[in-house]
Amino acid sequence: MFEPVIAPSGTLLGLLQRGRGDGTLHALAAPRPEALAALNQCVLHDPRQDWQVENRSLYYARLYLDLDGPLGEIEAHLFGADDLFDEEDHRTGLALSVLGHLASFGRDD
């Protein structure tokens, strides 16, 4: 079973990993590089205990839009060599879902 590592709840990363609404507020108030690093950490290393119950892709996609976040790290993750060793959906599922939401919002990069 996949067990994510969750940061303390008082940190920006911890708030975003938990999908809390105040995580967005903290991310928008934080220095942009710090907010993007935490957001990328969440999307590239799915923090959800159960992806069937916890839906965070829309939450993360909206934050990418608000931060005007570049998608290069997601691209590198999706085309990384790790797929040769780890074929589980949890490795790429959240990233693909976030990209799907971003495409529906009109992002074409």
Confidence of residue 36 (pLDDT cuts 50, 70, 90): very high
pLDDT of residue 98: 97
Confidence of residue 26 (pLDDT cuts 50, 70, 90): very high
Is 41 a residue whose pLDDT tops 70?
yes
pLDDT of residue 2: 57
Q: How far, in Å, are 14, 80, 82, 83, 91 from residue 17 at the CA level?
A: 5, 23, 22, 23, 15
The domain ranges of the chain are 12-83+93-104
Tens-place pLDDT, residues 79-108: 988 767 776 777 899 999 999 999 999 998
Confidence of residue 1 (pLDDT cuts 50, 70, 90): very low
SS3 10: coil
